[in-house]
Copies of this chain bind each other. A is one copy, B any other.
Amino acid sequence: MPSSSPVAAPAAPRGPAAGERLLGISEAAARAGVSARALRYYQQIGLLVPARTTPGGMRRYSEGDLTRVARIRELQALLGLNLEEIALVLRNEDRLAEIRLTYRDERTSDAERRALLRECLALQQDLRDTVQAKRDALTGFLADLDTRIGKAQGLLAAGGAPPA
């Protein structure tokens, strides 16, 4: 999906906390522990839109943006998701947050909002299941490793005085 197309989905505007000091792309990148290029790329594929853009077209990032980058990196490193999958997850979370905000709004019907909420919840639980499966696998892996290590340690301990 990361084609050379002009621009992807808007990815829900991050609201800067009114009067917050925004960061240029270099500082934002440094604080987030990624490259400026990565930030531009995330924007290109609709993963992260900077909180603001100056009239001249320069990106300005909020703290919330940094948090989002952290989440992206987490989903990358911990779950091994690719950016497309991460986009799905984040968009779902965005929708959930949006629903929370407009939940008491009068414009949509109760049933409608509940349906939407249920849909988002299902996706979240999907993710949860994925995470748990992975954690369980890692637990097994760990046990396996401990067994191996135990054996080698036994060998080491026995090495001093071979019995019989």
Given contacts A134-B138, A141-B74, A148-B124, contact A155 B100 (CB under 8 A): yes
Q: How distant is A121 from chain B, measured CB to nearest CB, in Å?
A: 5
Asked if A159 is an interface residue, CB under 8 A from chain B, the answer is yes
Asked if A7 is an interface residue, CB under 8 A from chain B, the answer is no
Q: How distant is A161 from chain B, measured CB to nearest CB, in Å?
A: 10
Asked if A113 is an interface residue, CB under 8 A from chain B, the answer is yes
In the complex, A159→B131 CA distance in Å? 28
In the complex, A56→B82 CA distance in Å? 41
With a CB–CB cut-off of 8 A, which chain B residues contact A153?
Answer: 121
- Interface contact A142-B159, CB-CB below 8 Å: no
How many residues of chain A get a CB closer than 8 Å to chain B's CBs? 40
Asked if A128 is an interface residue, CB under 8 A from chain B, the answer is yes
- Interface contact A142-B135, CB-CB below 8 Å: yes
- Interface contact A117-B155, CB-CB below 8 Å: yes
Q: How distant is A6 from chain B, measured CB to nearest CB, in Å?
A: 32
- Interface contact A155-B103, CB-CB below 8 Å: yes
A 122-153 binary contact with B (CB < 8 Å = 1; else 0): 00110110011011011101100110110011
- Interface contact A127-B103, CB-CB below 8 Å: no
- Interface contact B149-A124, CB-CB below 8 Å: yes
Known: A103-B159, A114-B159, A131-B138. 15 other contacts (CB 8 A): A74-B141, A78-B138, A93-B148, A96-B148, A99-B155, A100-B155, A103-B155, A117-B159, A121-B149, A121-B152, A124-B148, A125-B149, A128-B149, A132-B142, A135-B135
